[in-house]
A and B are shown apart, each in its own frame.
Chain A
Amino acid sequence: MPPADALQLALGLSAPEAAEADDLQRQVSLISGG
Chain B
Amino acid sequence: MAEARQVVKYTFLKVEAPVLSWPAEEREAAVREFTELLEAGPTGETLLAYSTVGLRGDCDVLIWQAADNRRRHPAGGIAVAGHPAGAYLRVAHSFLAMMKPSPYLGRHKHPDQEGRRTRLKPAGGRYLFVYPMVKKRIWYRLPYERRKAMMVEHFAIGHRYPQVKINTAYSFGLDDQEFVVAFECDQPAAFLDLVMELGSRRRAATRNARRRSSPACSCRRPMPCSSRSA
- Chain A residues close to B by CB (< 8 Å): 1-17, 20-22, 24-25, 28-29, 31-32, 34
B53 and A9 contact, CB distance less than 8 A: yes
**How big is chain B's contact interface, by range?**
35 or more
11 pairs, CB–CB < 8 Å, chain A vs chain B: A6-B61, A8-B225, A9-B225, A10-B15, A10-B60, A10-B61, A11-B27, A12-B27, A14-B225, A22-B126, A29-B54
Q: Is B51 an interface position by the 8 A CB rule?
A: yes
B60 touches A3 (CB 8 A): no
- Does residue B50 face the partner (Cβ distance < 8 Å to A)? yes
Question: Which residues of B does A touch, CB under 8 Å?
Answer: 15, 19-20, 24, 27-28, 30-32, 34-35, 38, 47-51, 53-55, 60-63, 126-127, 186-188, 220-228, 230
Residues of A contacting B: mostly: helix
> Chain B interface mostly helix, strand, loop or mixed?
mixed
In the bound complex, do residue A17 and residue B31 qualify as a contact, i.e. CB atoms below 8 Å apart?
no
CB atoms of B226 and A24 under 8 A apart: no
Chain B residues with CB under 8 A of A1:
48-49, 221-222
A28 near B54: Cβ-Cβ < 8 Å: yes
On whether the beta carbons of A7 and B223 are closer than 8 Å, the reply is no
Q: List A contacts of B223 (CB < 8 A).
A: 16-17, 20-21, 25
Supposing A1-B221, A3-B63 touch, asked if A14 and B51 sit within 8 A by C-beta, the answer is no
The CA of A33 and the CA of B25, in the complex, are separated in Å by: 21
Q: Report whether B20 and A3 are in contact in the complex, using a CB–CB cutoff of 8 Å.
A: no
Which B residues are in CB contact (< 8 Å) with A28?
Answer: 53-55, 220
Contact of B27 with A5 in the complex, beta carbons under 8 Å: no
The 7 closest A-B pairs by CB, nearest first: A32-B54, A14-B225, A10-B60, A3-B49, A28-B54, A6-B49, A11-B27
